[in-house]
Every structure is written in C-alpha cells, then in structure tokens.
Amino acid sequence: MKIYIGSDHAGYELKHYLMDNFKDAEFHDIGFIEFNKDDDYPKIAHDLSNRVLSEKGLGILICGTGLGMCMGANRHKGIRAANCLTPEMAELTRKHNNANILCLSARLIKKEDTLEILKTFLETEFEGSRHEKRVEMLDN
C-alpha cells in the first residue's frame, strides 16, 4: 500500500525519522522536501489529501501540533484525518472511523512514541459493521 507522507518545517525531522525506521513501507514524500522552500502546511495537507483520494492510499501529515495539518486535510470529502497522540487513538480511529490520514505532532509527542503510533495506524483494519453507516455520514 502506498503511504503518502508530508510535513511542514516543524515536522521535517520527524518525517525523516519515521521513514528511516519503517524501511519496508512504500513512502511517497509529498511535502517540505528541503528547507528554504514553500512549507505552508495547508498546501501540503491539500496536496497529500488529493493523492490519498486519487491513489487510495494512506497518509501521514506532521506539523508542530498536528492540528493544522488535520484541519487542512479534513476539508476534503472522503478524507478522515485524525490527530493521534497515543497508539490507542490510532487503533480506534482506524477501527471505528476508517481514518485514512494520520496526523502527528512533532512538538508534543516523543519521537520514539510516534513509531508505535504509526505502526498501530498502519496495522489496524477498519471494523466496518455498525461503524460503516457512521463513516458514510461524515461525507454528507
């Protein structure tokens, strides 16, 4: 599965840390490739969201708090971005909300903890069933 990843300047280091620690994942770097370039988080969130929608992959967005990226991504119909601070949040948002974008904070979470959050997000499947109707309601 394709995994799109993007960050602003605050998330740049964490983005590369995650890519370095998940060598088997097929990451596609969408945003903030180098310093001194455009790193407006709304643009990165929109670009990544469009790729997730068109390519049917998963996404990871990283900024200082994870909040700005989450707000930008959730403006797209079909995107269910979740700002997760714990592995439990990542598990539940995949199981119950069928989240397709994980938003992470580069400033509020220990780097080591983001590894478990991302691992949980990638390994957890949507439960469907009673949650299906609720997820559909999000796009209405």
Contact predicate 79/49, CB 8 Å: yes
Q: Has this prediction a pTM greater than 0.85? A: yes
Q: What is the CATH number of the domain that holds 37?
A: 3.40.1400.10
What pLDDT digit, counting tens, does each position of 81-138 carry? 999 999 999 999 999 999 999 999 999 999 999 999 999 999 999 988 899 999 998 8
Torsion of CA 46, 60, 33, 35, to 10 degrees: 90
pLDDT higher at 140 or 103: 103
Helix or strand holding residue 103 (H, E): strand 101-105
Residues annotated as catalytic are 63, 96
Report the domain count for the chain: 1
Q: Which domain holds residue 14?
A: 2-138
